[in-house]
Amino acid sequence: YTRLPSGEEYAIPIDRKWEFHRGNLELGETLGEGAFGQVRKGYAIGLWGRLDPIIVAVKMLKNDATEKELNDLVQEMQILMTIGHHINIINFIGACTENGPLYVLVEFAPYGNMRDFLKAQRPQQHFSSGYEMPLHRPLLPDNREAKPLTYKDLVSFSYQVARGMEYLASKKVIHRDLAARNVLVAEDYVLKICDFGLTRNVAQNDYYRKTTDGRLPVKWMAPEALFDRKYSTKSDIWSFGVLLWEIFTFGGTPYPSVPIENLFQLLRDGHRMEPPPCSTIEMYQVMLRCWKYLPADRPTFSDLVQTVDNILSKAM
Ligand code: ADE
């Protein structure tokens, strides 16, 4: 049983083996906030028999959440519990369901979301006029100096996300909001897809809903998802193409100057984004295959894993 913010008791179906004693969890800073939920850093004592505290990410509701939002979090947890482990997704660790609010414990990714990570590591422009500007390399969150990213790193990022999505697709999970903001960067630059267990309600024609950084999620959506709300693994493939574009622009904003009304027509007319300067023709061709108007003409994630693996093995 967990308690709703209203004080009501609520039964949560969970296997005993996943229960984590809430007294052994210390909460830290807020990592992220959504409309109904938040994610906080947590220190778990005694996890996996370890004596040192393990850093985890703790998903929970906000104080004003409703029963429906609790249902969503429970459903997300159930997907996390049942799909099993893969290195390129944020994995489930356990949950505190007893004697208090529901806490869902998942893996912590120290470098945060991929979009901010890429933006922080944009190659510096070289200005040859005037004096030499001191070149400071961006610092990673742990204050280590980041080694400049190479083309091969970017292809490796593309490969890892394709692997994670191939796994999710094999488990019949449709992400519905695949974007660099929903990919987290863990130790050794291992990428982990997150927020895939959400049943999203982009439905209410809320095309103008913005992310916390002011960008429009519709710019990641396949035409059939946008026009007919038809979400599938094939619409995730389209979003993957936009994510590739984000990778090769170091966290750029898709169609920056295009208002939504024009985006609809643009896509119908077959307009697509230009190749990013840091991309190769090969990687741009992958993007274009993901952006085929008809879902059936797009590749599968397994196709993409193969293609990108090929490009990766040739990259210097
Ligand atoms: N922000 C949201 N989820 C996170 C996680 N699992 N690790 C780090 N930061 C996060």
Distance CA 22, CA 1 (A): 13
Write out pLDDT tens, residues 229-253. Answer: 899 999 999 999 999 999 999 999 9
Identify the band that residue 202 occupies on the pLDDT scale cut at 50, 70 and 90. very low
Locate all alpha helices (DSSP H) within the chain, ordered by sequence. 67-83, 114-120, 151-170, 223-228, 233-248, 260-268, 281-290, 301-314
- Please determine, for residue 180, whether its predicted confidence score (pLDDT) is greater than 50: yes
**Confidence band of 123 (pLDDT split at 50, 70, 90):** confident
Lowest mean pLDDT among 108-112, 141-145, 309-313: 141-145
Which band of pLDDT confidence, cut at 50, 70 and 90, is reported for residue 203? very low
Q: Whose CA is nearest to atom 6 of ligand 1?
A: 108
Q: Of 255, 238, 246, which Cα lies nearest the Cα of 292?
A: 238
Ligand 1 centroid distance, CA of 133 (Å): 35
Q: Is residue 152 scored above 80 in pLDDT?
A: yes
Beta-carbon contacts of 30 under 8 Å, excluding residues fewer than 6 positions away, are 38, 39, 40, 41
Query: Is the distance from the beta carbon of residue 106 to the nearest atom of ligand 1 less than 6 Å?
Result: yes
Instruction: Evaluate if residue 200 carries a pLDDT over 80.
Output: no
Confidence class for position 224, pLDDT limits 50, 70, 90: very high
For ligand 1, atom 8: residue with the closest CA: 109
pLDDT of residue 204: 46
* Confidence grade of residue 134 (pLDDT, cut at 50, 70, 90): very low
ipTM here: 0.95
- Atom of ligand 1 at shortest range from CA of 110: 8
Catalytic residue among 72, 116, 153, 177: 177
Going by pLDDT thresholds of 50, 70 and 90, the confidence category of residue 199 is low
Does 273 contact ligand 1 (Cβ within 6 A)? no
pLDDT at 128: 54
- Substitution candidate for ligand 1 out of 77, 194, 213 with most atoms within 8 A of CB: 194
Q: In this structure, which residue's CA is closest to atom 5 in ligand 1?
A: 108
Ligand 1 atom nearest the C-alpha of 106 is 6
Q: What pLDDT does residue 5 have?
A: 62
Is the distance from CB of 266 to CB of 260 less than 8 angstroms?
no
Mean per-residue pLDDT, 282-309 = 98
Worst-scoring range by mean pLDDT, 7-16, 185-194, 200-209? 200-209
In testing the pocket of ligand 1, which one of 59, 103, 108 has its CB within 8 Å of the most ligand atoms? Answer: 108
Mean pLDDT for all residues in the chain:
88
Q: If pLDDT is split at 50, 70 and 90, which confidence band does 256 have?
A: confident
Which runs of E-coded beta strand occur in 34-159?
37-44, 54-61, 92-96, 103-107
Spacing, Cα 113 to ligand 1 middle (Å): 7
221 CB within 6 A, ligand 1 = no
The structure's pTM equals: 0.89
Q: Does the beta carbon of 57 sit less than 6 angstroms from any atom of ligand 1?
A: yes
Q: Is the pLDDT of residue 135 over 60?
A: no
- List Cα–Cα distances, 77 to 53, 59, 189, 254, in angstroms: 23, 10, 25, 31
Q: With 90 as the cut, is the pLDDT of residue 197 above it?
A: no
| pLDDT tier for residue 16 given thresholds of 50, 70 and 90 | confident
Q: Is position 177 annotated as part of the catalytic site?
A: yes
Asked whether 31 lines ligand 1 (CB < 6 A), one says yes
DSSP H helical segments within 128-251, as ranges? 151-170, 223-228, 233-248
- Note the pLDDT of residue 213: 64
Asked which of 6-10, 23-27, 301-305 is least confident by mean pLDDT, the reply is: 6-10
Length of the chain (residues): 316
pLDDT higher than 50, residue 98: yes
